[in-house]
A and B are shown apart, each in its own frame.
Chain A
């Protein structure tokens, strides 16, 4: 099988054209994960060689596109090393102010004990803080600004020694770490503020040359974990999560959300299921289906129905989401049609995308 470029031609129209304020939904299953596709989105937006394609809107040639990646299940190390296989140096890009990573894995639920001893927060809230507890002003943790050429980004007012802690323990990578504290919409609002801070900071860096803010592409990897691990009993349901995503969309040019769509998570909630659905299944199905209705495009990854094969990793189906609208544009570059293709990830991380029977 011949090797294809990092961005296979069949895939290019789907990952490089992202209309203003659009939502793209990426669904994956246990055996067909979507990380490689997220990386292709990153590549399409950040790779220097694709400048010509990502100006697909027709207006913004020469305008830099920036990306904020929020990941709830995978570490910075994973994304950095996998992007390196594509020839994308995320660490360097984040130094240049083109990329920012928000770490939703490391300290989302249980904050480490070292932090409990920090002088700023002597009464650091225990995980699963009881209801009604006020949200501490933790959201003001600064992103480690890009140390490089650009002027330091304006950081929000920082209470006390928080700055020190963030600076010392941020470790490798520009990661801002998310903490889920409290319950319900208040907790989600805090997360949203954290993420939007990063987005606005990234917008601010490097701006000023032409006085124009860059477009920021926001990729949220598996926010459905938040929903699964909290649930309605903690005041977070599908509705709240849907609104949360909508809030995030306001801050960015385009948004990509990756969720899981395994059959137990989608189909158990249907009326025809044999057992009564658990709240987890109901809420997950409502969230994922709701997103699909609001999305411009749905990229669906799944296993091969006929069983595993050695030269096929899975099936990719690109279909129109509920919010798809034919804006009458006849631009050949922005045209895409619904399609189902097979893909194969090779050992070196490159991907082959091909039609059935090809």
Chain B
């Protein structure tokens, strides 16, 4: 791959080949990052990616360290909780902070005022390095960089790419790619007023056609280099959408056109859509078709409330928060479009945890059974005579 042309632009990004970290590409990568904040080349193949506003979700996306430009991600949620809504708020807030154009479909402007407050850069504000430092003695040094999921792709590989351009402009501060937010605070940022809300208004046109038209004209009227984010909360939820639009012949053409819009050459758009699975189960043909049109599908399965006690004892170590639910990846952007497989995160069970300051996704593991000593002892005590009974 070293024979590639050196002057190929990186903006649209597909198919840059696996050698994206080669020195030939690093200056271009820096150029992309400079021209629009919040965009960086994927460590996997060099395509442009942008952050979802959640560090661990970025790391989950098949080694790209972010959501690749032009991709549509579905976040589906079971039950009545709103974890997906939190992810969506992070995504929108990240867009606001990065001066990207955020289009929100179907909710009033109050939604924009409830975006979580900015704490700082997620990579810098992460408390993980500290904890790792304290545990340093326990881990053999050569395994130190392995294993910790949060320090996966973005933590270990991206700095390598950045080191190369730091040598050229050493005094420039690396702009943050992903920020962390505080759910209890409110975001105040000058560009929050620039968010574009597309509420539902009765029109004579078909429902989705008018939304699409407004979305498209908003994107077409913005300067050419703008990075757009499309946010669609609770697609098809009957509290917001009229019932007839959940017919496949309404919603599927809309999603298909949205996909076309995202795939427009030179456009820089990403989208995250949440779907309430309790109303539209994954076993239905309609939802499956929505997923097939999307690029990535992630399902959140929060633990039922009664499981809280169990989950509390289920913390892997005392320092960690108990998981609040399971997360399943059904399809990942780019990876599955190519055929799937070969991702280190594939086949893992994921658990998620939403705290005040972050949404964390980590490998799920059943903890050692704590507090069950009496039962074990009792069983042993009860087991002994039984064993004698069994002897002839």
CB neighbors of A among B262-308 (8 A):
263-265, 282-289, 291-293, 297
Whether A35 and B330, one on each chain, are in contact in the complex, defined by CB atoms closer than 8 angstroms, is no
B125 is an interface residue with CB less than 8 A from chain A: no
CB neighbors of B among A167-218 (8 A):
171-172
Q: Which residue of A lies closest to B294 (CB)?
A: A30
Task: Among B14, B259, B340, point to the contact of A105 (Cβ < 8 A).
Answer: B259
Q: Which residue of B lies closest to A84 (CB)?
A: B15
Whether A77 and B288, one on each chain, are in contact in the complex, defined by CB atoms closer than 8 angstroms, is no
Task: Among A113, A260, A264, point to the contact of B217 (Cβ < 8 A).
Answer: A113
Q: How far is the CA of A345 from the CA of B248 in the complex (A)?
A: 32
Whether A278 and B285, one on each chain, are in contact in the complex, defined by CB atoms closer than 8 angstroms, is yes
Q: Which residue of B lies closest to A128 (CB)?
A: B206
Task: Among A77, A126, A231, point to the contact of B248 (Cβ < 8 A).
Answer: A231
Whether A110 and B212, one on each chain, are in contact in the complex, defined by CB atoms closer than 8 angstroms, is yes
Interface residues of A, CB < 8 Å — how many? 65
Q: How far is the CA of A345 from the CA of B341 in the complex (A)?
A: 6
Q: Which residue of A lies closest to B206 (CB)?
A: A128
Whether B256 and A225, one on each chain, are in contact in the complex, defined by CB atoms closer than 8 angstroms, is yes
Chain B interface: which of A17-25, A133-141, A309-317, A327-335? A309-317
Task: Among B44, B248, B254, B336, point to the contact of A33 (Cβ < 8 A).
Answer: B336
B151 is an interface residue with CB less than 8 A from chain A: no
Measured between beta carbons, the chain B residues less than 8 angstroms from A263 are 283
CB neighbors of B among A73-112 (8 A):
73-75, 77-78, 80-82, 84-85, 105-110, 112
Task: Render A237-280 as a binary contact track against B, CB cut-off 8 A, 1 for contact.
Answer: 00000000000000000000000101111001000000001111
Q: Least Cβ distance of B3 to chain A in Å?
A: 12
A348 is an interface residue with CB less than 8 A from chain B: yes
Whether A80 and B336, one on each chain, are in contact in the complex, defined by CB atoms closer than 8 angstroms, is no
Q: How far is the CA of A128 from the CA of B265 in the complex (A)?
A: 26
Measured between beta carbons, the chain A residues less than 8 angstroms from B249 are 229-231, 233-234
Measured between beta carbons, the chain A residues less than 8 angstroms from B293 are 73, 225
Q: Which residue of B lies closest to A114 (CB)?
A: B220
Task: Among B257, B291, B337, B340, point to the contact of A110 (Cβ < 8 A).
Answer: B257
Chain B contact residues, CB within 8 Å of chain A: 12, 14-15, 17-18, 44, 205-206, 209, 212-213, 216-217, 220, 247-249, 252-254, 256-257, 259-260, 263-265, 282-289, 291-293, 297, 330-331, 336-344, 346-347
Given contacts A75-B260, A229-B256, A310-B342, 8 further A-B contacts (CB under 8 A): A31-B331, A35-B339, A231-B248, A233-B249, A262-B288, A265-B289, A281-B284, A312-B341
15 contacts between A and B (CB under 8 A): A31-B340, A33-B336, A77-B263, A78-B14, A109-B253, A109-B256, A126-B206, A127-B253, A228-B248, A229-B256, A231-B249, A308-B347, A314-B340, A345-B339, A346-B342
